[in-house]
Amino acid sequence: MCAVDGMFFESGHVLSTKTRRVVSQMGRMHMGVWLQSERNMIVVKAYVSGIAIDCPDSAALSAFYGALLDIEPVNEGLVIARGDEGDLEVWFQQVENYAAPTWPTQERGQQIHFDITVSDMDAAEEKAISLGAKLVDDGQDSFHVFLDPAGHPFCLCRESTGE
């Protein structure tokens, strides 16, 4: 655990250098926002810079999500959004004795899951399954529930047509 965390945060330091460069180049913001907590009158700035996912095989799971999202993994991480204060990255953190969620039971809950919007549900579903995902619930029209190859639930959500 310590070794993997160390590797992850080494990458984080590289990111923070890059972050400053991105600041001057990008004009839009994502979920990571530098903000002062004005309401509390305390100057603390925090933004979401990463989401780390536990898994038994970092390379395999980063390849899965990379292929699903058409994003090339870098150091077994994926940059899923870029913003003027920095990138938002997903990291795949290999842990010993990994135990997959037992969702929907709370024996080992999922704790967090991802929603991924798709323009073509049928094509995206076929692609996800071909990459190793398992369809567990397609009872809703607007989203279908899958397990990734390490057993984390995630949803493919039909893109809103605005109608």
**Contact residues: another protein, CB under 8 A:** 1-2, 5-6, 9, 12-13, 16, 19, 29-37, 39-40, 42-54, 68-70, 80-81, 83, 86, 88, 95-99, 101, 106-120, 123-124, 127, 152, 156-157
Cis preceding linkage at 104, omega within 30: yes
* Closest approach of another protein to the CB of residue 60, in Å: 16
Question: Which residue type sits at 113?
Answer: H
Pick the closer one to another protein by CB: 75 or 113.
113
Distances in whole angstroms, Cα of residue 75 to Cα of each of 3, 51, 78: 15, 14, 8
Pick the closer one to another protein by CB: 5 or 59.
5
Whether 139 contacts 131, CB under 8 Å: no
Pick the closer one to another protein by CB: 44 or 163.
44
Q: What is the spatial distance between Cα 146 and Cα 156, in angstroms, rounded to a whole number?
A: 8
